[in-house]
Amino acid sequence: MNVLKKLKYALMTNLIGKPYLRIERKKSEKKIAKLFNPDSPLNPPLKITAYTKEFVSSHYFKGRYIEGVKPVAWVTSGAPIEILKALGFFLIYPENHAALCGARKVQMDLIKTAEKEGLSNNVCSYVRTDIGSLLSGRTPAGKLPKPDLLLACSNICQTVLHWYRMLEKHLNIPLVIIDTPFVYNEIEPHQVEYVKKQLLHSLLPVAEKIAKKSLKEKELKKVIKFSKDATELWLEILNLCKEKPSPLTVFDQFVFMAPIVEMRGDRETVDYYNEMYKEVKSKVNTRKGALKRERRRLLWDNLPIWFKMRELAVKMAERGISIPISTYTYAWGELAPLMDLKKDEFEVIAKVYLSPILNRGTGHKLNTMVKMVKEFKLDGVILHSDRSCKPYSMGQMDQRNRLIEEFKIPAMLLEADQNDENAYSEEQIAIRIESFFEMLGVSYG
Amino acid sequence: MVKAMGIDVGSTTVKVVVIDKNKKILFKHIENTKPRIKEQVKEVIGKVKERFKGEDIPIISTGYGRKLVEEAKKSMTEITCHAKGIYYALNTTGTLIDIGGQDSKVIVVEKYGRVLDFTMNDKCSAGTGRFLENTAARMDIPVEKIGEIALKSEKEVKISSTCTVFAESEIISLLAYGEEIGSILKGLHRGLITRIVGMINSVAFTPPLMLSGGVAKNRAIKEMLEEETGYSIKMPEHPQLIGAYGAAIISLEQNI
Ligand code: SF4
């Protein structure tokens, strides 16, 4: 049986999948060319943009035929996946999948399905999108493979704990929860010890049992190395955006960051970011910015508004507003230096996954923002107050006030949601954005 | 002679101001917003032009309907225009509270009417003029009178609903229980003021406090705001015209 499945997988992904995705890439290249006509306030995007779609789609495409070939795990974005990767797991990230639904604008139907089944509209819209997809079977990815294991880590929010418990009940499969205590200032040795213990004693035995093999140190080292290399490259790419004009905007980065989340630990991901680095670097060398004219530079805080990405990108670019960086895209790069290959792997993993921005105090985020404003030579901050993501949005009111009062950095709160269009009021948001731009001395016509 | 015009197309009223080069108001006009805004604006501007025949007066528009003013050279948001207008009307920096029909805003105004910070109550009508208007209508009292009645009342009942719609039903039951209209109105004003104070606390506040918008005519608002914040409030001569006045000044500045 498994041999048959393996054959089918090889056939579908290599013989059919690859050419099919290549045709899709050609199509998106044409579409992109059309969008970036001479009147567009944006310069044409990186060549790698069309490939990004192919690259990410290839992952989902493999997923369609993976059942029975490799063990499958559904994991949270901040889960210690290196251990699973080293054991040969195929991974699905429901959060990324929800973001994909949002970016393709198919999320509202899924959200409605989930709400009809009783999920409150106060629950994170990623959860509603994914549960809606699970219950209805609808997904822009074609089909998501059924998992054998669920892995949730509390380093991003408490929501995922409830979400994954719901999945556990519905799918009737094992769930491992890794509890990462909140880091107020510095990571304490006892916290590392605590997380390490869970990795060794909760996650490892269950994962090994499902994978039917034991973890090899060599494999784990290899995966961590790939994770580290990709993350480092990502950080270097983002640091190139300190240049004026910025070669990328945050709207590009939101798309380009997908592989760093859902395909980290793979060799291909390192190659992908290598290519991207070269292209971005050459843009910097020729001083070609993402915008045709960059008049002001801003920082974005929090998740994107997936269903409004293009509109917002154009609206900002029309006024010469560039957003070269965000706390969200940068957060992934910041983990790179922690991946010390010389140290004990489990200790490194514990430290890395204790460190995400959402697992740290609001003061840490404020300091990060202030530092970024300086380093990226920014003129102000847009704080997206995301109704869904409470941990990211908590403290923004104070952060905004302190940015203005203590650091004399103009800042604005933008109330919206990453996926739920019902929390987005078009006219009000337009007025806020326009007023903020006028305040920065960039007025509309 | 150099002149400039500002037009503020709000959700409740349309306001027009023409100024001379010393920013002195030569002409002002207010009328209720009609459903066909484009035509209405055309007509209003036509009348002004008639008055200043032969003069080429540059126009800047603001307000919710700012993009519907075809005659305008440019449109600017209410935030920018209000800051500009109040700075020159009162000749001071500070924090402006503007309570309009559809939204309320708090703007921290710097030198030359530049905006330092702002916040808007644009999600819910509880902090806006509509809140008072609706409930006044419920009680069958002209909206111009509610402030006076509220101030006269010694007693004040707490209205616990912050939502305009729910507050209406709460009022009906309070009336049914025999509460005095005055004390209900006082409670209602308190509800609105509490919202506004929350907004003031959320910006980079600099004194003095200033007040504009249609609701500024209501004396209870001014007095109760002073009581809640402990600051005395400065009021321009024409609180409703501040947006249009600011637009006219920007138009003037850009055309000199
Ligand atoms: S609440 Fe925030 S961190 Fe948690 S799943 Fe939703 S978006 Fe992600």
Residue at token pair 């997809």: A133
To probe the interface with A, which of B75, B117, B120, B250 has the most A CB atoms within 10 Å? B117
A406 and chain B in contact, CB less than 8 A: no
Nearest to A434 among B77, B103, B204 (CB): B77
A197 vs A204: CA distance, rounded Å: 10
- On chain A, the residues whose CB falls within 8 A of the CB of B74 are 443-445
Tokens of B93: 């920096």
Task: For ligand 1, say whether the CB of A49 is within 6 Å of any of its atoms.
Answer: no
Say if A358 falls within a structural domain. Answer: yes
pLDDT tens digits for A92-114? 999 999 999 999 999 999 999 99
- Interchain contact B79–A (C-beta under 8 A): yes
- The full 3-state SS of chain A, as one line of letters, equals CHHHHHHHHHHHHHHHHHHHHHHHHHHHHHHHHHHCCCCCCECCCCCHHHHHHHHHHHHHHHHHCCCCCCCEEEECCCCCHHHHHHCCCEEECHHHHHHHHHHCCCHHHHHHHHHHCCCCCCCCHHHHHHHHHHHHCCCCCCCCCCCCEEEEECCCCCHHHHHHHHHHHHHCCCEEEECCCCECCCCCHHHHHHHHHHHHHHHHHHHHHHHCCCCCHHHHHHHHHHHHHHHHHHHHHHHHHHCCCCCCCHHHHHHHCHHHHHCCCCHHHHHHHHHHHHHHHHHHHCCCCCECCCCEEEEEECCCCHHHHHHHHHHHHHCCEEEEEEHHHHHHHHCHHHCCCCCCHHHHHHHHHHCCHHHECHHHHHHHHHHHHHHCCCCEEEEEEECCCHHHHCCHHHHHHHHHHCCCCCEEEEEECCCCHHHCCHHHHHHHHHHHHHHCCCCCC
Look up residue B248 and give its two tokens: 């006219």
Q: Which amino acid is at B149?
A: I
Nearest in space to B97 (alpha carbons), one of B234, B238, B227, B212:
B212
Average pLDDT, chain A: 93
Query: Does the distance separating the beta carbons of B120 and A428 come in below 8 Å?
Result: yes
Find chain A residues with C-beta within 8 A of B119's C-beta.
413
Chain A: give the shortest CA distance to residue B115, in Å: 6
State the distance from the centre of ligand 1 to the C-alpha of A77, rounded, in angstroms: 9
B117 contacts A404? CB cut-off 8 A = yes
Number of domains in chain A: 1
- Shortest Cα distance, chain B CAs vs residue A369, angstroms: 18
Q: Is the CB of A131 under 6 A from ligand 1?
A: no
Q: What percent of chain A has pLDDT over 90?
A: 82
A357 lines ligand 1 (CB under 6 A): no
- Cα–Cα distance for residue pair B118/B140, rounded to 1 Å: 35
DSSP letter for B130, please: H
Kindly give the confidence (pLDDT) of every residue in chain B, 256 residues in length, as a single tens digit, with 9 standing for 90 and above.
789 999 999 988 999 999 999 999 999 999 999 999 999 999 999 999 999 988 999 999 999 899 999 999 999 999 999 999 999 999 999 999 999 877 889 999 999 999 999 998 866 766 777 778 887 887 888 888 889 999 999 898 888 776 777 777 888 888 888 888 899 899 989 988 988 998 998 888 899 999 999 888 899 999 999 999 999 999 999 999 999 999 999 999 988 6
Q: Which of A387, A438, A442 to mutate to test the interface with B (most CBs of B within 10 A)?
A: A438
A388: its two tokens: 């869904």
Is the four-CA dihedral B228, B230, B231, B237 of positive or negative sign? positive
Alpha carbon B172 to chain centroid, angstroms: 28
The verdict on A422 touching B (C-beta cutoff 8 Å) is no
Tens of pLDDT, residue by residue over A47-59, are 999 899 889 999 9
Closest residue on chain B to A399 (Cα): B202
C-alpha–C-alpha distance, residues A299 and B153, integer Å: 50
Calculated CA dihedral for residues A156, A161, A166, A170, nearest 10 degrees: 90
Of the candidates A401, A405, A432, the beta carbon closest to that of B120 is on A432
Distance A394 CA to ligand 1 centre (A): 12
Q: Is residue A445 part of a domain?
A: no
Atom of ligand 1 at shortest range from CA of A156? 3
SS3 (DSSP) at B97: strand
Q: Is the pLDDT of residue A87 over 60?
A: yes
**Which of A 243-262 lie inside 8 A of B, CB atoms?**
none
* B196 Cα: distance to centroid of ligand 1 (angstroms): 31
Chain A partners of B77 at a C-beta cutoff of 8 Å? Answer: 431, 434-435, 438, 444
Could you tell me the CA-to-CA distances from B145 to B128, B129, B137, B182, B241 in Å, in that order?
Answer: 17, 14, 11, 11, 21
Atom 4, ligand 1: residue with shortest CA distance: A157
Tokens of B63: 């307000």
Contacts of B202 in chain A (CB under 8 A): 397, 401
Give the confidence band of A383 by pLDDT, cuts at 50, 70, 90.
very high
pLDDT, tens digit (0-9, with 9 covering 90-100), for A9-19: 888 877 777 88
Nearest-by-CA chain A residue for B61: A445
* Neighbour tally for A432: CB within 10 Å: 22
Is B49's Cβ below 8 Å from some Cβ in A?
no
Considering only residues A427 and A401, tell me which one the structure prediction assigns the higher pLDDT.
A401
| pTM (predicted TM-score) | 0.89
Let me know if residue A435 belongs to a domain. Answer: yes
State if residue A54 touches ligand 1 by the CB under 6 angstroms criterion. Answer: no
Arithmetic mean of pLDDT, A230-256: 97
Give the right CATH number for B3-123+196-255 from 3.90.190.10, 3.40.190.10, 3.40.50.720, 3.30.420.40: 3.30.420.40
- C-beta of A159 in contact with ligand 1 (< 6 A): yes
How far is A70 from A66, CA to CA, in rounded Å? 6
Is the confidence at residue A445, as pLDDT, over 60?
Answer: no
Residue ID of nearest Cα to ligand 1 atom 8 = A389
Tell me the two tokens of residue B119.
């916040």
Cβ-based contacts of A434 with chain B (< 8 Å):
77
CA of A234 to the centre of ligand 1 (A): 22
Q: Identify the pLDDT of residue A1.
A: 52
* Local confidence band at A335 (pLDDT 50, 70, 90 cut-offs): confident
Nearest CA in chain B to A424: B123
Name chain B contacts of A435, Cβ cutoff 8 Å. 77-80, 115, 118
The closest residue, in CA terms, to atom 1 on ligand 1 is A389
Strand B209-212 relative to strand B233-234: parallel, antiparallel, unpaired?
parallel
Residues of B in contact with A425 (CB under 8 A): 122-123
Ligand 1 centroid to Cα of residue A302, in Å, is 11
Q: Please give, rounded to a whole number of angstroms, the shortest distance from the CA of B166 to a CA of chain A.
A: 21
User: For the purposes of burial, counting CB atoms within 10 Å of the CB of A408, is it exposed (0-12), middle (13-18) or buried (19 or more)?
Assistant: exposed
Q: Which atom of ligand 1 is nearest to the CA of A125?
A: 6
Pairing of strands A72-75, B233-234: unpaired
Q: Does a structural domain hold residue A341? A: yes
List b or e across B188-226, with b for residues whose CB sees 16 or more CB atoms inside 10 angstroms.
bbbbbbebbbebbebbbbeeebbbbbbbbebebbbbbbe
Predicted local distance difference test score (pLDDT) of residue A444? 53
Which of helix, strand or coil describes residue B199?
Answer: helix
Task: Provide the pLDDT for residue B256.
Answer: 65
Question: What are residue B165's phi and psi, to 5 degrees?
Answer: -65, -45
Q: How far is the CA of A156 from the centre of ligand 1 (A)?
A: 7
Nearest CA in chain B to A441: B114
Residue type, A12: M
Q: Which domain holds residue A245?
A: 2-440
pLDDT at A81 > cutoff 90: yes
Work out the minimum CA distance from A207 to partner chain B, whole angstroms: 48
A126: pLDDT strictly greater than 70:
yes
